[in-house]
Structure 1
Amino acid sequence: MDLSIGTALFLIFSSYLLDAKTRNYTIELSVPNGGPWGEWGPIEFCRKGYAKGFILKVDQWERFQIFKDDTSLNGIRLICTDGSEIQSAVGPWGKWTKTETCPEGSLISFSLRVQKERGIFLDDTSANNIRFSCEHGAVLTGHSTDWGTFGPWSAVCPQGAICGIRTKMEPQTEKGDNTALNDVKFYCCN
């Protein structure tokens, strides 16, 4: 089969672009208590290195807004060791909180705080907070609401550290009970 130089260059260039978006990962980290609603967003990876910290997008509870639809956790952004920031699907509500960074090393496991389904007449929020463990033993907890309970810890990256993220987000509805972020998966790279 005879390939022209243009075709060969196109194949090489498109292969390079595909590799820039994805990385080889060793394991997918998940927890069993994620919320049931929504669709999985894209998987995003640090270009190089690992995740050393995170920022949360949170719709904070407001005391005097009785009929407000609370969504709590709307997004998770990872801070990579190469200086880049990555995120998967993010909800429209809330503001980004302060950055939490490992004092040494990178993120290696996580635990998700989730409020169980509350029934048809009460406001559901689903995922509300997250905490991560770092390579050298530190635990970082996000600045979010305290609804629900933290579930079990995920597995620990067997080698390397967390390098990618994928979030499960309920699409925004005009009427009804929005929950925003429901679940998350992280990816470990060597």
Structure 2
Amino acid sequence: MDLRVSTLFVMLTYCFWYGDARNYDQTLTVANGGGWGEWAQPALCKEGYVKGFALKVESYQGSLAWNDDTGLNGIRLYCDNDETVTSKIGEWGSWRKPEYCPKGHLTSFSLQVEPSQGAIYDDTAANNIKFVCNEGFVLTGEAHDWGKFGFWSEPCSSGAICGLQTKIEDSQGSGDDTALNDVRFFCCK
């Protein structure tokens, strides 16, 4: 009996603390995400779906050997109710202008990732993202063109994207920083 009460307390505390008590039906992933960093807490729209997004991008730092580019640092989602949600965000760069589906919602994505450049070269990992809207429009982020776009995720089988979870590498001090490495999106009915 005590174990069930303790488990219930932990679950309720988690839902209260993170506010993500909404259930999602499907997780969208891609295979080409970068390997550095840790997965952060998910973030979900309280209701409805995602109609647009904006990217936090560090501008090009120059061609000198000690300049360290990170590329993509964060993704902000715009929900139907004008709420914005983010998972963890890297510390570099600035927010670019939002992109919106003309009438619908985001349903699938493709991530542009630069593979590892080796021990002595600058790694950036994720650099841009594209989304498909349920009415067929493709939205491409305003970011770098380093690396290649991978295959599209599967689309939401019903409903649309309602949240995300990012994989972020924290600052490496004097080491090579990459910031956002991978992302997964959640679909709600």
State if a TM-score over 0.5 links the two structures.
yes
Residue 118 of structure 2: aligned partner:
119
Residues in 1 aligned to 2:172 and 2:126: alpha-carbon distance in whole angstroms: 17
Residues in 2 aligned to 1:99 and 1:30: alpha-carbon distance in whole angstroms: 22
1:140 aligns with 2:139: yes
- Indicate conservation of the 8 Å contact 2:76/2:86, yes or no: yes
Question: Structure 2: which amino acid aligns with 1:44?
Answer: A
Residues in 2 aligned to 1:19 and 1:98: alpha-carbon distance in whole angstroms: 27
- Structure 1 residues 35-46: aligned runs within 5 Å: 35-46=34-45
- Indicate conservation of the 8 Å contact 1:22/1:44, yes or no: no
Judged with a 3 Å threshold, the aligned counterparts in structure 2 of structure 1 residues 147 and 15 are, in CA distance, closer, same or farther, namely: closer
1:86 aligns with 2:85: yes
Question: Structure 2: which amino acid aligns with 1:75?
Answer: G
TM-score w.r.t. length of structure 1? 0.89
Residue 50 of structure 2: aligned partner:
51
Judged with a 3 Å threshold, the aligned counterparts in structure 2 of structure 1 residues 129 and 24 are, in CA distance, closer, same or farther, namely: same
- Indicate conservation of the 8 Å contact 2:73/2:93, yes or no: yes
Judged with a 3 Å threshold, the aligned counterparts in structure 2 of structure 1 residues 126 and 138 are, in CA distance, closer, same or farther, namely: same
**DSSP 3-state at the match of 1:108:** strand
Residue 165 of structure 2: aligned partner:
166
- Indicate conservation of the 8 Å contact 1:108/1:162, yes or no: yes
Residues in 2 aligned to 1:83 and 1:176: alpha-carbon distance in whole angstroms: 38
TM-score w.r.t. length of structure 2? 0.90
1:155 aligns with 2:154: yes
Whichever of the two has the greater Rg, that structure is 1
Structure 1 residue runs of 5 or longer lacking an equivalent are 1-9
Judged with a 3 Å threshold, the aligned counterparts in structure 2 of structure 1 residues 20 and 177 are, in CA distance, closer, same or farther, namely: closer
Please identify, of 155-164 and 20-29, the stretch whose mean Cα deviation from structure 2 is larger: 20-29
Provide the aligned C-alpha RMSD in A.
2.0
Percent identity between the two aligned chains: 50
Question: Structure 1: which amino acid aligns with 2:75?
Answer: I
Judged with a 3 Å threshold, the aligned counterparts in structure 2 of structure 1 residues 15 and 183 are, in CA distance, closer, same or farther, namely: closer
- Structure 1 residues 174-189: aligned runs within 5 Å: 174-189=173-188
Residues in 1 aligned to 2:184 and 2:15: alpha-carbon distance in whole angstroms: 25
Number of equivalent positions: 180
1:131 aligns with 2:119: no
Judged with a 3 Å threshold, the aligned counterparts in structure 2 of structure 1 residues 29 and 68 are, in CA distance, closer, same or farther, namely: same
Residue 27 of structure 1: aligned partner:
26
- Indicate conservation of the 8 Å contact 2:15/2:21, yes or no: no
What is the CA-CA distance between 1:188 and the residue it aligns to?
0.1
What is the CA-CA distance between 1:65 and the residue it aligns to?
5.5
Question: Structure 2: which amino acid aligns with 1:149?
Answer: K
What is the CA-CA distance between 1:34 and the residue it aligns to?
0.2
